[in-house]
């Protein structure tokens, strides 16, 4: 009996593929940091029963039309805006992701980014490395406190909740905005629901953890930044496209906000000439929210298990389009 054909679009640890090894024929793009070309991805999709994908891989209607055997697209990410989910559902293709296993790790990074920006950690580290530290001064590289400040979390999903939990350790007042109220979070963590307008006007730290949807695309505009406190710090660890980057840079230049910490950008990767990198009060990271060794291994293994379950006609551990029906 012919084994299912699985194409892996980036080099991942061999250990992560263990659930697939005896079950499927696996072909893998050999590079870890260089994405598979569009041409090669379509070529492989033509014979694939499953695609093991990254956020950088565009799985759209064009590709699906070329993939008659495709039964599952499994993303190594909690996000899936690289996949045309509606098209996949029409074609009875399961779309899987990796929620839960990365929530705490991403929350750690988000709060670290908040702290690094607020306390000017990166700027201070560069200051001493460049030999600028000649003496001590009362306000030398003085940042802003984190404790007792107000954090406003836009998107109170699993990661947002984990960030709120960390904020309680700093005695922060927690505001949140979400599509729906989270009464359990309000009760457990003392968080307060606020409208988007209230949140951006009242918060000292505005943290975006919202998924990218038509409603959240370009959510943070020039007008939004103008309405933030001039002392506010903006943190984005969700998706780059929720922010108008030109408006954010203008807000930084005109001192409408105090700084920004960014783990994501509209077009990734960015180059050293990106406008936002010119500013000392912007901390920029290369989309490493879930990037701990432990979590990335768990995510990679979950992708493999999702694929195996779908190809066996079982419910995967994490599926985006629940309406896809599996035949026993």
Q: How far apart are CA 59 and CA 75, in angstroms?
A: 10
Q: How far apart are CA 97 and CA 316, in angstroms?
A: 10
From edge to edge, which strands make up the β-sheet containing 150-154?
Answer: 192-193, 173-177, 150-154, 205-208, 233-236, 259-262, 282-284
Q: How far apart are CA 117 and CA 282, in angstroms?
A: 7
Q: Where are the alpha helices (DSSP H) in 78-157?
A: 85-90, 103-118, 121-129
Please name every residue paired with 75 in a beta bridge, in sequence order, or none if there are none: 53
Q: How far apart are CA 38 and CA 59, in angstroms?
A: 10
Q: How far apart are CA 315 and CA 328, in angstroms?
A: 10
SS3 32: coil
Q: Which residues are catalytic?
A: 239, 268, 287
CB 95 within 8 A of CB 320: yes
CB 165 within 8 A of CB 174: no
Q: How far apart are CA 50 and CA 83, in angstroms?
A: 14
């Amino acid at each position: 009996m012919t084994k299912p054909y699985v194409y892996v679009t980036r080099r991942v640890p061999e250990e992560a593929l263990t659930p697939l090894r005896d079950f499927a024929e696996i072909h893998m793009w050999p590079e870890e940091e260089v994405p598979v070309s569009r041409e090669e991805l379509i070529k492989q999709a033509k014979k694939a029963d499953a695609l093991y994908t990254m956020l950088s891989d565009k799985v759209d209607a064009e590709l699906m039309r070329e993939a008659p055997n495709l039964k599952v697209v499994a993303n190594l990410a909690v996000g899936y805006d690289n996949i045309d989910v509606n098209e996949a559902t029409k074609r009875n293709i399961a779309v899987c992701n990796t929620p839960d296993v990365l929530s705490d790790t991403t929350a750690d990074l988000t709060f670290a980014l908040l702290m690094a920006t607020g306390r000017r950690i990166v700027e201070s580290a560069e200051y001493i490395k460049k030999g600028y530290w000649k003496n001590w001064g009362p306000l030398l590289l003085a940042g802003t406190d984190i404790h007792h400040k107000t954090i406003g979390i836009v998107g109170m999903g699993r990661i947002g909740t984990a960030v709120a939990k960390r904020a309680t350790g700093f005695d922060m007042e927690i505001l949140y905005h979400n599509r729906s109220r989270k009464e359990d979070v309000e009760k457990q963590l003392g968080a307060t629901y606020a409208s988007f307008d209230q949140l951006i006007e009242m918060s000292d730290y505005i943290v975006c953890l919202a998924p990218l949807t038509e409603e959240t695309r370009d959510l943070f505009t020039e007008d939004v930044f103008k309405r933030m406190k001039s002392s506010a710090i903006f943190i984005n660890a969700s998706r780059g496209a929720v922010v108008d980057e030109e408006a954010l840079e203008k807000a930084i230049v005109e001192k409408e906000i105090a700084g920004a910490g960014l783990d994501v950008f509209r077009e990734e990767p960015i180059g050293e000439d990106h406008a936002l990198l010119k500013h000392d009060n912007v901390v920029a990271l290369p989309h490493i929210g879930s990037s701990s060794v432990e979590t990335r291994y768990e995510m990679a293994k979950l992708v493999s298990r999702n694929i195996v379950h779908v190809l066996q006609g079982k419910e995967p551990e994490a599926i985006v389009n629940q309406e896809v029906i599996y035949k026993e």
